[in-house]
Chain A
């Protein structure tokens, strides 16, 4: 059974940092591309980052609004993907999900349960 479990959310002050973890099981993590998606309190979904697999040099992409502040990374030995979030802003308040594309036709089949991040003073 495929499982994705996000942890690391919480309440943080503007300008501070937080690191999210998505621990996975049930599929061949090392060849999967992994994504982070967030959902605002207004329920709008926003794709924010993707990391490819080793054969694609772990290439990353980001949405403009988080470039330079957020870093996606992975540890294939732990079947986990991470999102390091620095210089957090109030507009980063959202539920953060990880999802996977085991193949292009499989993209979005599996999601974690989401983790809440609240940025507020």
Chain B
């Protein structure tokens, strides 16, 4: 199975900060990666698909990038509504696998 190593597991940041969350794939997954945002008591919300594409309705302060086997979700100018858990998912191969998640909190 493909392992997705997500970091950090948690972080605190201030409003207006630039934040980056990373997932590293244990095997080649191409661009077959999705980033989800999840708020307490809610279902996951797709933010980025195919590694770098912004999903419908997602603010432009979110972006996705890839460098080799490292995939990043970046939020420029953090807003209070961005406080949530973030998860990456690879769908290159079955079983699809998630990262362990990142809890983003307000400093």
* CA–CA, A99 and B49, complex, Å: 15
B83: Cβ under 8 A from any A Cβ: no
1/0 contact string of B75-93 vs chain A (CB within 8 Å): 0000000000101010100
| Interchain nearest-CB distance for A81 vs B (Å) | 16
A residues in contact with B95, CB < 8 Å: 47-48, 61-64
B60: Cβ under 8 A from any A Cβ: no
* CA–CA, A101 and B91, complex, Å: 11
| Number of interchain pairs (Cβ within 8 Å) | 54
* CA–CA, A1 and B10, complex, Å: 34
B residues in contact with A108, CB < 8 Å: 34, 36, 44, 46, 49, 89
| Interchain nearest-CB distance for A60 vs B (Å) | 10
* CA–CA, A104 and B31, complex, Å: 12
B residues in contact with A64, CB < 8 Å: 1, 95
| Interchain nearest-CB distance for B32 vs A (Å) | 8
B residues in contact with A113, CB < 8 Å: 43
1/0 contact string of B25-65 vs chain A (CB within 8 Å): 00000001010100000011110011001011000000000
1/0 contact string of A87-98 vs chain B (CB within 8 Å): 000000000010
The chain B residue with its CB closest to the CB of A108 is B46
A residues in contact with B100, CB < 8 Å: 44
